[in-house]
Amino acid sequence: MPNDPTSTEDHLIRQMRDQVMDNDLKIIQAINARLGLVKRLRAYKEQQGLEFVDPSREEWMLRYLLGSNPGPLSDEGLAEIYGHLLELTKRETA
């Protein structure tokens, strides 16, 4: 990992920051994997003459995720993140 200009000598802080960064990297990997899958889905749907966006599917997916969320992320927070993710996905796979 590149040198962190805000590094600290406190071992616990450094360890927790490293764990946060590891999770951030996993989030980026998961988003990139999602984008790849959705790009393939979008291309297939276009070949079949189908609409890319399916609002009822988006609603179902959000309900499913809300029901699967153990917290501490709130339902409102999850809905906000998911809304941003959907918009990002539509923009990045166009």
Segments forming the whole domain that contains residue 44 = 11-92
In a domain, 6, yes or no: no
What pLDDT, on a 0 to 100 scale, did the predictor assign at position 10?
86
In a domain, 59, yes or no: yes
Cβ atoms of 58 and 86 within 8 Å: the answer is: yes
CA atoms lying within 13 Å on the CB side of residue 65: 18
In a domain, 3, yes or no: no
In a domain, 23, yes or no: yes
Tens digits of residue pLDDT in 20-58: 999 999 999 999 999 999 999 999 999 999 999 999 999
In a domain, 85, yes or no: yes
Packing angle of the helix pair 11-47, 75-92 (nearest 10 deg): 50
In a domain, 35, yes or no: yes
Cβ atoms of 80 and 74 within 8 Å: the answer is: no
Q: How far apart are CA 10 and CA 17, in angstroms?
A: 11
Number of domains the chain is built from: 1
CATH of the domain at 17: 1.20.59.10
The pTM of this model reads 0.83
